Structure 1
């Protein structure tokens, strides 16, 4: 256990805390929503910090590589579903983002033997936009604040769809390249 992994574990541990705060007192009491936003913000910040710490201090581990995206998806998924259940976020948004997240995870598993598909810059931008938007949706905002969070969410969903399609292309290219290498190796061994 190192600092980067501890931050990832903290993010995962904050997910049920966030959900409990979201639904406290029926889910629409301003004080509880502010507390939920603080829990969400702390968890989201650990996502930004843990990767930096892991890379800058050479603390990248298999444990972190596996757990980090799980913690990210758990936090985002919990926020999306909670907000939709409370009627604060349209279900189609939750479905589109959830399908993208599950799809990218399945693509990574599909190609894992042929290589690792690291998070792209677009994927990181998607996470940042969604974290900002979802954090703002947790808060009881109206007027300009409500409009701003809708715009940020729309940008996050758009980036999620575009990067999801990019991951499909990268996965197919990785599989194709690995298949070609295997075929060449077989041909070379047959020629020997």
Structure 2
């Protein structure tokens, strides 16, 4: 038996349902809209990148602008979703797809135009896709948080690819080579660190499951 009147209990349940309804996040929130914009920018970027043979400085500048907008939205949509409790199932799926799509499109276009060696594109895409699949592999044991190195990798990749998209000559062309080299080193280094974290997390999770079974 409870000392809470039935009417009060009913009111509390109703208030709880209302609170749940208030907390329901609309698909059309600012974080998801930014993610959708980034997805729509991918085909636009590819068109601009390959227009007029793919080597026209003007078209490449427009492609750089599209790529930059996509990277900027990537900085904001996740932060907005977490800060204002706008996390949705759509965002969880679409955000990483949008991230990989714009970066993958840029790398593949650059390699197809012979501006970037294919092995660089292969290393970066292999790491990005592999780490994403690995996160799903261990997700039942826990979440691998984004590390400071991973954030630095993303920033360096974005700057390096952006510099390759632009038609640069002279010292800037040499500088972009070094920035891309740093991006590749960070890509490989942080990828190996994520693998280590995933193995430790999975080992701990399996040990916990075995302990629960005893």
TM-score (norm 2): 0.84
Say which SS state the counterpart of residue 34 (structure 1) adopts. helix
User: What's the offset of the Cα at 1:66?
Assistant: 2.0
Question: Are 2:205 and 1:178 aligned?
Answer: yes
- 5 Å-filtered alignment, 1:33-182, equals 33-182=60-209
**Which ranges of structure 2 fall in alignment gaps of 5 or more residues?**
1-26
Deviations 1:131-154 (A, max 9, x none): 111111010101121122111111
Distance 2:150 2:93 in 1: 16
1:17-48: per-residue Cα shift (whole Å, max 9, x none)? 10011100110111110010000000010011
Corresponding residue SS for 1:115: coil
Taking the aligned partners of 1:100 and 1:121, their CA distance within structure 2 comes to: 17
Counterpart-to-counterpart distance in 2, 1:119 and 1:14: 25
Alpha-carbon RMSD across the aligned residues, in angstroms, is: 1.1
CA distance in 2, matches of 1:80, 1:86: 10
Report Cα offsets for 1:93-117 as digits up to 9, x if no partner: 1011011111101111211222222
Show structure 1 runs of 5+ residues with no match: 188-192
Alpha-carbon distance in 2 for matches of 1:184, 1:149: 52
Which residue of structure 2 aligns with residue 190 of structure 1?
A: none
CA deviations 1:119-170 (Å, max 9, x no partner) are 2221111111111111110101011211221111111111110110011011
Aligned residues: 187
**CA distances 1:70-101 after superposition (whole Å, capped 9, x unpaired):** 11111111011000000100111101101111
Match of 1:10 in 2: 37
The 1:66/1:117 distance shift into structure 2, 3 A limit, reads farther
The CA distance in 2 between the partners of 1:141 and 1:69, in whole Å, is 30
Residue 22 (str. 1) matches residue 49 (str. 2): yes
Which of the pair has more CA radius of gyration? 2
TM-score by length of 1: 0.93
**Runs of 4 or more off by more than 3 Å in structure 1?**
none
